[in-house]
Amino acid sequence: MVEDLSSVDAARWDALDHGGSPFLEYGFLRALERSGSIGADSGWRPRFVLIESGDALLGAVAAFLKDHSYGEYIFDWAWARASERAGLPYYPKLVIAAPVTPATGPRLLIAPDAPRAEVIAGLVIAVRELAAAEGCSSVHWLFTTGEEQTELAAHGFSPRASFQFHWQNRGYADFDAFLAALTSRRRKQIRKERARARGAVDELEFIHGRDLTGDDVAAIDRYYRQTVWAHGGIDYLRPGFFHALRELTPDRVRFARVRVGGETVAGALYLQTERNLYGRYWGCDRELDCLHFETAYYAGIEHAIREGLSLFEAGAQGEHKLLRGFSPAPTYSSHWIAHPGLDAAVREFLTHEATHLAAYMAELEGLSPYRRG
């Protein structure tokens, strides 16, 4: 177990199977470390669990000791209150997640040629031992894959269901082909919103991370903080993070930059892998009609089609995404609480929660903007 990823070889870490997600890759995690977004003073204290055989890294887990539940997006505040009322300290707890990032991806990082079941068993044992040694009340795996949730259930972790809105590329040739799959009403709405947004600006283009200027990175940072503060949130990503991200993993970074009269007035940060696109942070210096929808959604869909990407995740929440081509998609987490009584109560809660969630997702499916038949 190591507390700083700089002591791990980058190539060995990135050779593990990350499932097309960039958020536990070496560059992203090191940008978090270098900027102080994770570390002793952030509330995310890293503990990287490694399984090695000689010089080979067979598997790893990025775990974090937490003294709060901020920045997780799978909410357990009610569990914490119930625990405290019962006289049981809930913190510290151990969280296995991509810090402050509500995006699905492998949390059990396994070498492609390693014996998966054996490595998982070893990692789970190591995680439980770490939790016990650090006095943690519980262990939480957040935004796992569906396969991992099943595997963790076999090791005694309770599955929890949630959902987001994701866009799936159904082999569209271009944006018009995507629109053709929608109902007439939704096609007209999207065309109208795009026309309003595009008519108000001179330029919207995707800038590759290698081509970002210092001013571009400063704009990304500014837009992130403006948007977070405007919604009463917390800017978990500290100053310097976006500069470090551009430096350490430029091939993952894309900036949808909006300009008027040669001046950058809005933009959205994306991360891109070989098959997936992730929309992260949007912001603007000028409020322009429908520009958020264009920059954070429609331009992202168009870019994903052009690049041949299969999935576009545009972040947490937002039922308004449903009307713009995004569909409800399940997300997964797995939980274990050391105290048997509290663990049993949480399991019962999760059973009821899953029933209500299934009914709500069925209702959302009935509101799909896609043509039937």
Asked if residues 285 and 271 have their Cβ atoms less than 8 Å apart, the reply is no
Q: Is the dihedral of CA 98, 102, 108, 111 positive or negative?
A: negative
pLDDT at 41: 87
Task: Kindly report the CATH number that applies to the domain delimited by 170-309.
Answer: 3.40.630.30
pTM of the model: 0.96
pLDDT at position 244:
98
Residue 296's pLDDT is 96
Q: Which residues of the chain are in CATH 3.40.630.30 domains? A: 5-163+329-365, 170-309
- Between vectors from CA 370 to CA 366 and to CA 371, what angle results, nearest 5°? 100
Q: What pLDDT score was predicted for residue 315?
A: 86
pLDDT at residue 40, as a whole number: 87
CATH of domain 5-163+329-365: 3.40.630.30
Contact 142, 73 (CB under 8 A): yes
Mean pLDDT, the chain cut into blocks of 10 residues (373 residues total): 96 98 99 96 96 96 98 96 96 98 98 98 99 98 99 98 96 98 97 97 98 98 95 94 98 98 97 97 94 97 98 89 94 98 97 96 92 83
